[in-house]
Amino acid sequence: MRTLLLFVLSLVTVTLVQPLNNVVGFGSNTGMFIGQMQGRNTGTTVLVNPGTIVGTFPDTFVSASIGNQHAVFLTQSGLVYGTGYSFNGRLGLNDSAAPIAAYYGTLVPMVDGNKVLIGKKVIAAEASGHSSVLLTDDGKVFTYGWNDNAGLGVSGTSTIHYSPKPINDTNGLLVGKTVKHMSVSNDAVLLVTNDGLVRSFGFNGNYNLGDGTGVNQNIVTALPFTGRVIVQTSIGLMHSLALQDSGTVLSWGFSVNPLGRSGSHLVPAPIEDPNNVIGSRKVVYISAGFQHSILLTDDGRAFTFGNGNPYGQMCTGDTTTYTRLQPFAASANCSLLKQKQVIKPR
């Protein structure tokens, strides 16, 4: 049995178990966005122990993503399922003629009502604040849900997509490019193109988009990464990260506290390692949380920085509140990492 553990820096953690094709999860189940966990689908359950989502599915699940009262699941063949609150199209049910605002306690299939996915395979599916975002194998991005925070990448805060539609690239910033990676959180979206550039759209109230304006962007915009080749991004609640092909990590966001560096917090800049804690190691994976970040290096080590730690999320081995402006090594007693090799997610 192969188990893929997804690091989800939120209220909910979801584990996908293969090849038995079960989806299990635990945490707050408000809105039933973990699905019908062991029959407990009241929408108010807090699951301390993992429970299994009920259902029979034609394919193996490869990813899961948690949004605001909904979740999105992707199978190996590119099928997309959702669970939770269907309000304003966030599950992509193509029900615009008679919209359903219901809590789904089981997984329901997303419907390609606009036929924009014909001939394409979905290779990434992310649940955002009030929307969901898909990436296809030809490098195109599609969204569905509610655009109140510009999370659909189109004009109009009252716009609702009940099934997937393409994002708005009025400025032509994606012409001749394909999107290779995307990160999504709280209706903010960062896209990495095949030439290592970063594009963004959506909610920008916490300066997550990296343009320094703090203004929501309903069309694709460019980030100032001249001369840098970006391979991955990650969006937290209060800040964002980008990883260069060289292993350099850049950060930006609402304030300097979670950024791992000094200087202006409004635009991307490299984190600082004045104590040489990371040293010659190369960072290969990044993950941004509420006000903290975790970095994984090529030798399987984990390093964290940021603000907070009331739930032990900075992997210090305790729940003491810290403000760490530079990276430090995760505790050797951290139960998740102790005597285990850290595997970089795909």
* 72-103 pLDDT tens trace: 999 999 999 998 888 899 999 999 888 877 77
Q: Do residue 236 and residue 167 come from a single domain?
A: no
Domains in the chain, number: 2
The single-letter DSSP state of residue 53 is B
Burial track 234-262 (b if 16+ CB lie within 10 A, e otherwise)? bbbbbbbbbbbeebebbbbbbebbbbbbe
CA gap 157, 155 in Å, rounded: 7
The per-residue pLDDT for 335 is 41
pTM for this structure? Answer: 0.85
Percent of the residues in the chain that have a pLDDT greater than 70, as a whole number: 78
* 193-244 pLDDT tens trace: 999 999 999 999 999 999 999 999 999 999 988 789 999 999 998 899 999 9
Over residues 33-40, mean pLDDT: 42
Decide if 105 is inside a domain: yes
Q: Do residue 169 and residue 235 come from a single domain?
A: no
Decide if 153 is inside a domain: yes
For residue 31, the domain's CATH number is 2.130.10.30
- Of 6, 140, 106, the closest CA to residue 63 belongs to 6
Q: Do residue 142 and residue 11 come from a single domain?
A: yes
Residue 126 has pLDDT above 80, yes or no: yes
The per-residue pLDDT for 311 is 66
Could you tell me if 105 and 91 are in contact, meaning their C-beta atoms sit under 8 angstroms apart?
Answer: no
Cα 135 to Cα 31, 138, 139, 264: the distances in Å are 25, 8, 6, 32
CA gap 38, 85 in Å, rounded: 18
Instruction: Band the pLDDT of 122: cuts 50, 70, 90.
Output: very high
Decide if 199 is inside a domain: no
Over residues 62-69, mean pLDDT: 87
Decide if 217 is inside a domain: no
* 285-344 pLDDT tens trace: 999 988 889 999 998 888 988 887 776 777 777 777 777 778 888 776 554 444 444 444
The per-residue pLDDT for 154 is 93
Decide if 120 is inside a domain: yes
- Six-digit token pair at 88? 């304003």
Q: Do residue 251 and residue 125 come from a single domain?
A: no
Burial (0-12, 13-18, 19+ Cβ within 10 Å), 318: exposed
Domain of 153?
1-174
Over residues 46-62, mean pLDDT: 64
